[in-house]
Structure 1
Amino acid sequence: MNPCNRWLTFAGRVLLSLIFIISGLGKVAAPDATIGYISSVGAPFPEVAYAIALVVELGLGLALLLGFKAKFAAAGIAIFTLAAALLFHTDFSNQIQLVMFMKNFTIIGGLLLIVAYGAGGFSLDNRK
């Protein structure tokens, strides 16, 4: 991999992972508010959903950032992001919800590139 591609794939991985890591940290800081929001949309077992969100956003988000088992991490985050889009952002009469739904699908697209091609440069998966 040439040096430019190493930096570009690293930057892409960092940018994709940050939204999940920051969101996970927000959930850690406000568990009751997060569980309340999950309950408000009628999701079953909001405490379990909260725990899953923490594992995905922090655990898999950090794995993606570091490029550790990046294909697995990206696949897990993509499935989680699809579920979040379908649970939380389907009121298409609300322009903000439509944009959030499309944002989630755009993120899924980036994650699928990692599933297909791997972590890229400066990753634990590709250390030498």
Structure 2
Amino acid sequence: MNTFTDAMQPSAVTTSSNTNSQDTLALVGRVLLAALFLIAGINKIGGVEGTSGYIASVGLPFPELLYWATLALEIIAPIMLIVGYKARYAAIALGVFSIAAAVFFHADFADQQQMTSFLKNFAVAGGLFFVAAFGPGRFSLDRG
């Protein structure tokens, strides 16, 4: 019996406690990430003209179709993320969406607010990719 290696092994109580903390933090993280998109999606309801006009103003094609796709993504994927159903797929979709939004709508680095929005979108994408990589945790429909 090697006391050094035995001391390095976590006890069952510590492991269980750490797992509960990690799963709780994973749930909190999913809810916080999802809230950003869900609120944005709800706020877009009924705003076809304004949002489509904004999409068209940056030169993207099919602005009305992109409006409806964005609305669906910003409402459905966050709900999936919150409940932890196919959370990895929802996180990847929202992460890619965040990067695309940064590139198409916030790439004017002469404007400090746009640069900050660009970096925030990338940071949010990073958090979402953590969910995709490590899973939603035990407190989810996917259970890890």
TM-score class, shorter-chain normalisation, is over 0.9
Q: In structure 1, what is the equivalent of residue 92 of structure 2?
A: 75
Contact 2:48 2:64 in 1 (8 A): no
TM-score (ref. length: structure 1): 0.94
Query: Hey, what's the Cα distance between the residues in 2 that align with 1:92 and 1:7?
Result: 37
Counterpart check, 1:3 vs 2:30: no
Contact 1:5 1:121 in 2 (8 A): no
Q: In structure 2, what is the equivalent of residue 17 of structure 1?
A: 34
Structure 1 vs Structure 2 CA RMSD: 1.3
Query: Hey, what's the Cα distance between the residues in 1 that align with 2:59 and 2:78?
Result: 26
Contact 2:87 2:131 in 1 (8 A): yes
Pick aligned residue for 1:92 from 100, 109, 116 = 109
- List structure 1 segments (4+ residues) > 6 angstroms apart after TM superposition: none
Query: Hey, what's the Cα distance between the residues in 2 that align with 1:44 and 1:109?
Result: 27
Structure 2 gap segments, 5+ residues each: 1-15
1:51-73 per-residue CA deviation (whole Å, 9 max, x = no partner) reads 11112111111111111100010
The alpha carbon displacement at 1:45 in A equals 0.6
Contact 2:30 2:81 in 1 (8 A): yes
The alpha carbon displacement at 1:30 in A equals 1.9
Q: In structure 2, what is the equivalent of residue 41 of structure 1?
A: 58
Query: Hey, what's the Cα distance between the residues in 2 that align with 1:37 and 1:23?
Result: 14
Counterpart check, 1:31 vs 2:48: yes
Decide which moves more: 109-118 or 1-10. Answer: 1-10
Looking at CA atoms only, which structure, 1 or 2, has the larger radius of gyration?
A: 2
The alpha carbon displacement at 1:48 in A equals 1.2
Decide which moves more: 113-122 or 100-109. Answer: 113-122
- SS across alignment from 1:108: helix
Query: Hey, what's the Cα distance between the residues in 2 that align with 1:72 and 1:87?
Result: 22
Structure 1 gap segments, 5+ residues each: none
The alpha carbon displacement at 1:93 in A equals 0.2
The alpha carbon displacement at 1:38 in A equals 1.0
1:21-63 per-residue CA deviation (whole Å, 9 max, x = no partner) reads 0000011142221111111111111011111111211111111
